[in-house]
Structure formats: structure tokens, C-alpha cells
A and B are shown apart, each in its own frame.
Chain A
Amino acid sequence: MYNVYRIREDFPILKTTINGKPLIYLDNSATTQKPAVVIDTICEYYKQYNANIHRSVHYLGVKATEIYEKVRGDIAKFINAPNSNCIVFTKGATESINLVAYGWGRKFLKEGDEILITLMEHHSNIVPWQMLSIEKGIKIKFVPLNDDGSLNLTAFKELLTERTKLVSITHVSNVLGIINPIKEIIDTSHKAGAIVLIDGAQSVPSIPIDVQNLDADFLVFSAHKMLGPTGIGILYGKEDLLEEMDPLLGGGDMIKKVTKDYSVWADIPYKFEGGTQNIAGVIGFGKAIEYLNNLGLEHIYKHEKTLVSYTLKRLLNIDGIKIYGPTTENLRLNIISFNYKDIHPHDVATILDREGIAIRAGHQCAQPLHSYLGISASCRASFYLYNTEEEVDKFIEALEKVNMVFKNGNRRTI
């Protein structure tokens, strides 16, 4: 039985008050809170077995290395990767995408090649490709959206040509909450001869993912959006792709042999992990994965769906709320972006903050999507496994307060 009140007990921060009000944290797409077990595990590492990995033969070094490598295996299982060699530790989804852009793209893409992304991408899945395109003369094409914000699959198929070498696409939009049909996208892309990178930053925390069943070529995600610490993320890649990719960082730990004239790189995944790694981050992430496994992702997913459909229903009853993306919950995960009358999102967020409610306001690192929607900013409420319907009720009440502060008025600019 999924008991959200019991789960909340595991999160120390949920007991804090903000401006004298209990914290209601609805900014989970930016980063999630951490359960005590994750925080304690990180402290334990520093207090009891802090040592560098892969380098020392002493007890502490061996223990730290063992746990670090065990986490790699746990993460491989979590996404059903064929083995742990396919799991590269990075500092986050952003670095993972950059690693593919430079390690793979720089090596294999040529002038005239095309990369297909979508209008709903996070900046981290746009900017690295733009940087690469300046260097390599490749072309970036954006798949447009349908009126409800969903991906225009007809246009996608038209844009996919023999020049397309890579399709890089988010599984779940961090603004619209839309779940993209990635299985279909991967199959179609493969038939056209392109490989596919899935940005799982928003989906891996809530949707069970099987990279082998999907036949994904790359999958990237960040620990901090799934109960883990900041500064740690994953690049999953098919073994043959990782094998042929170049590393980004040269240095210690990523080599087999160094001479004055040349070096031989280590095997995957180590050749991508130059320098001392974020050991505490990896160990903390391992605990987060264990916590998620204990709850069961399918239960978390169901919980979020229930909250989103409840919130949508309540929001749609408020006069002047404009919701972006589909208003039925079946296409959505845990995210709702909206605007309230012509009140600027920053004013909404400031007033909610006085009520102890944390939401996101701004362009949410998705400016091309916001321009497409014809707005410069939006408000975003996003849920995770510890949010409750009572919190949604408070959030809705607080929106009424926003309206009161603004006295129901609109702007007149004549």
C-alpha cells in the first residue's frame, strides 16, 4: 500500500516552515528533495570510509571502490542495461549530452549531416548541438508540435531523412509534462538509419525504463531529480557506441598506460571518467535508487498521475488559468505549466512563496518552446512521490490569494 504520509516522514526538509507556513514543495522538476537515508549515506562515506577509488590497495580505498562499482551495477539494473560497462558517471544530464556531442558527434559527424531535436527540448539538449554545429557545419532541425503541445509525428517522419544521423529527444517535457512516444520514435529513427539519444532527466525518476526493450542508443539523466545528490548523472550508451567514442577529459583513471609520447585509454566506462570522481555523489545516488526500488516506480508513477489529474481538475475550475499542453492527464506526467490572467509568473511565485509554496517561474530553460507558445515565461508546478492532495488544495487556495493581491485587475497599457 502506497502511504504518502508515511513516505513524507523520510524527508527531513518536509518538516520545515517557510515564512511561518509548512513548506509545500512543488518544484520537483528542478530538483527533488532527499530522504534521510540518502543524506546519511553520504555522511557515512565521509565519516567512515572516505578514500579515492580505483587507486588504493588499502581497506578504505577498496571499500569505497566496491560500493562505487556496486552502484554502477544497480543503475544498470534500474534501466535494464545489458551490463554495467554501459553506465558512465557524469555530473548530470547536461554533461552526458555534451559527452555524446563531443565524444561521438565531433568524431563522426560531417558537414551536411543533420541532427533532429524538438521544439520542447531543455536548453541542455539544444545548446551542445548548436556549439557542435558551429564547429562541424552540421544542421539542427526542430520537430514542431501539434496544437495541444504534443509532438507532430507526421512532421517528424518528414524531417527524418538519410542525412539525419542523430535524433535527440526528451522523453518527458520539463514544461508541458508531455510523455513522448519514444518507442515509436526510436523504431522510426532506426529504420531511417539514425541513432537516438533519449533525455530521461524528467522521465527516469518516475517511469520504469528498459533501454534494451526500447533499443535506445543513449539515455541521459540526473541523480538530483530522483532523490539523489547534485553533481552526479548518467550516460547510458550501447557498448559499441561507447567503445568508438572519444573521451572528453584526459587525466588520471581514464588510461591504461601513459608514456611521454602517447597514452592508451582505459576500457569503457572508465575512459570517460577522468580525474577523481564524485564518489559521495555516486554512493548517495545508489541509496536513492534503492529507495525508489523499495517503493516501486510503478507506484510512484500512479501516485503522480493521480495528483496531476486532481490538480488539472482544480486548476481548470479557476477563471483565468491558462494551462500549456494537454488538459487531459493521459498524455502527462507530473508537470503542469500555466499562466494566471496576465499576472507575471514571478509575481505569482513571490506571492505563493509567502504562503510557503515553492513553484518555478520563468522560461524553465526552454526558451524556444516559450517563444513558440508566444510567452516569455510561465509558472510550473511539478509533483513527486511525497506530494499530497492537501498540498494541491493549499496551492489552489494560494492562487486565490494571488488574485486578491492583484485585486482582480488587468493591466491597461494604452
Chain B
Amino acid sequence: MTDLRHTQPDAPPPIAPGTPPILQLQGICKYFPGVIANQDVSLDIAPGEIHALLGENGAGKSTLMNVVTGIYQPDGGEIILNGYGQSLAAPQDAIRAGIGMVHQHFKLVPAFTVAENIHLGWRETPFRASAKTLEARTRALSDRFGFSVRPDAIVADLSAGEQQRVEILRVLARQARLLILDEPTAVLTPAETRDLFRALRAFRAQGNAVILISHKLDEVIDISDRISILRAGRNVGTYRTADCTAAGLATLMVGREIVRRDLRARAPGAAPIAPAPVLSLRAATCRDPRGVETLRDVTLDLHGGEILGIAGVAGNGQRELTQVLTGMMPLSAGEILLDGTPAPLADPAAFARAGIGHIPEDRLRSGLAPSLDITDNMALREYDRPPIGRHGLYDRAAAARLAGTIVEAAEVRVPDLATPIRNLSGGNQQRLVARREIRIASRVLVAAYPSRGLDIGAIATVLRYLTELRDQGVAVVLVSEDLEELLNVADRIGVLFHGRLMATIDAATADMETIGLLMGGRSTQNSPARDGGQA
């Protein structure tokens, strides 16, 4: 078989010439009312390759993969599996054919355990299955595929990375030969991403294939063998990764060149940093229902006209910090001051009225009502003020006008405003939430991972929005895992570790190493910390 002397353990396996592609798409078309999601897409996936699928938000990547996995029927074209034409009438057909997909938005049952989720709807699940058997079987699978999971844990309690491992294991257990991952790394920490990539390489080494959708070009170049690019639903080319550069790919995706600007530079006439803080935390502490401190003794000041970056590995108190700053979570100890006076405790509506916008971490779950239409979703922040809300009424026509304005400002193309918002692409949902929140953020904008799931063009746009707000004198809090992004736009960077604000450092003098050390909980000796933990 393989000549082991020349093959690294994780390198792509040598494939005999003439081996048919695992998957071949010929002229796939998929239309939605008013939208061409895919047009004449042809693509082939060889065994033993990791194939990246790139494209702007709404380019049709998720839709194409939903066609491949039998969730949607194509309106034209053919799917050829291992050399045979095949029609996939339902997701079960795709699973039987060895195609498994992990979706952009996870599809696990939150109230079930990991083991139950793995065995749900699986033909090989034993007929009489006790919790013990399921857990033992799950443990065996987890060992076999090298994805460590806790079989008895409830899915709702798991981090995004752990949930994703469950999703992947679910797919692999069903003997997938082609694994499709839709933006798998958007919610992962760098360490989790490394683990994932290691597992993917091992999977590839066994002659299987992976299709990976991602907006992170560096990752794509790192892991993939070939890259296909979708633009407005069409495949504009398939390239060997070795021949690609990040900049070249970006240009291909967007169809024009992306200019990077120095985002920290202020426009002439921009508002200066206000001397008095708008929003302050004093020794703020939060406890979760089990009494564990999730935010410890955080003191910080937000000034109008500046961007405060928040760095840290996910799960170190970012969620709690953003929820406290937007009035969604009460403090167990400490104070939150709005313009120097104590703010009403945990009343998000009052915070919104005071001009505090919030782009939440998990948009689909907490920022939108997926089954409702675009209009109702866009009115979420302004339904109680004129022109939509007057005398206790809800003016649908005014709401539709507002939605139209937001959709236009977000540069999202939608067939009509009565479309349920879950039918929009992940990135487009995000853009709409960002625009909706920017509208109400007249004093403060708290943005949690605003570039998550966005294509690079859209990331540049969102970061530009933030700097424009800053120039108008708004205080911006930018929570991000991307240090480069933080160093690019933030004026100061605070680092969270185990719920504690380790330090707040001046972005102009900060460097990656220092921040990296702080993120790992290392103390701040010799670091350019300005005021040791207090901003």
C-alpha cells in the first residue's frame, strides 16, 4: 500500500491515478425565490484532499453544501459520487453515501447528553440502549477517531469547541468518507483550531476528503490542498493552495482589491477622547448560578471617542463583561456607573434607551428571532420609540421602512423584507445585527466578535463602522480573539483571564507577546502596562 518511508503520518496519501473523485458536481444550480444561490457550479473533490470553499457572505457556500448533503434538491445539474450519478433525496441518503456535514449553526439537542446526541437517529444504535451502553459506545468512538468528548455531559453545558467535536464525532461515527465543515473555526479558540486541524489531517491521511468553508484565509492556506472560490453563486475557479496567497484569494473572492487602511488613525475633525467616562465598572463581580465567579473585581472606564479592545481566550469572562456592560446581567458585587451615576441594574431596555448598543456573541440565539421576518427582527431595538412605537402601538409600515434602511446600510441584498431571517446567509444576518445596533449606539457600542463569520471585505467594513463611531465620539468596546484586529483598531487593550482584567495596555506600545502572556494568565512584570488592571 503506502510507502511509509516517504510519507509523513499526516500528509495526503498517494492516490492511484484513475481513482474517481469522491464527489463530483456538474453544473449545479439552486434558486430561491428572488435569489440565485448557485449557478452552474462544477467541482470535484478527490480522495485524500482537504478542499477549501471560499466566497463572500451570501456567495452560496452553505447552500451548495446543503445540496450535496441532500437538504436541498438542486434545480439543475448532477451530483456524482465515486463515479456514479446519484440523486440525494434526503439527508439520510447523503449519510448512507458517506457524506457528513457539520453546520454553521450546530444542530445538537441541547438538553441531551453527548452520548444521546451521538446515537440520535442512527441505525446502529442498539435497540435497547441504557445510558451506560451509549456512553461506553461513545467513549469507544471517541478513542477511535481521536476526538475527546465527555459522553455523559449535557450538550448545553459544553463550550462551542466541545459541541463541535460532538458534531464531528456524530458524523464520523456514521462512516463518513467526505466530511463537510461549514465555518468550523469561527467559534473556536486557537488551541481548539489546532486540535481540529490535527484531526482533519489524520482523517485525510486515511484517504478521506474534507470540504472546509472558512473566511479565515491564513487557516485555509495552512490546511487545504486545493481552494475553490464562489462568487455570486458561481465557481470562479479552483486552485492549488500552493499557488495562492492570502491577498490574491481576497481579490478573487471580492472581485476587487481590498485596501487596508490604518484604522487607528483618526479622521480630521474626529471627536477627541472625552475626559469624563460614559460607562464605568467599579470592582464588578459576577457569579454564575453555581456560585462560581465569572467576572472578578473588574474596574474600567469607557471614554467617548475611543475603542477599548478586550483580548482573551474565549470563556474567560468576555460574555459576562459584555452582558454587564449592556444591562443584561446583574452584578453580584460592585457598581456600574452611567455618566458617573449608578445605572439601573440589569435592564437592557434602559441601557438601549441610554444609547448603548450590543452586538451579541451568539447572534442567532440571542440577537435574532430566526423564525420571524426581517422587519420584526430589525425593529427589535426601536419598537418602543417613534416612528415605530407611539402610544403603545407597533407601526408595521414604519418598521418595514426601518428594516429597509438597515438592509440598505448593511449592503445586504434580500428578496423581500417578509423573508424569515433564518433564510439569510450567516454573514448577512450578522451584518444586519451590526447595523441595527450601530443605529442605537449613540453613546456606547459593545461589540462581541463582530467579525465572526464575515468575509474579509465585510470585516473591513464592520471595522470601519467601529472607527466611524469612534470618530463621532462613541465609546466602543471590541471583544475579539484576533489580536491583529485588536492591535489594528483599538486604542487600549484589556486582557481577560479567569474573569479578571489582567491589565489594560496602550495599543500603540503593545505587542503580541505581552498580550499573549497576559492571556495565559502570566503576570505583568516588565510589560508596558499603564495602570495594572485598572483603566
Partners in one complex: no
Could you tell me which B residues sit within 8 Å of A by CB distance?
Answer: none
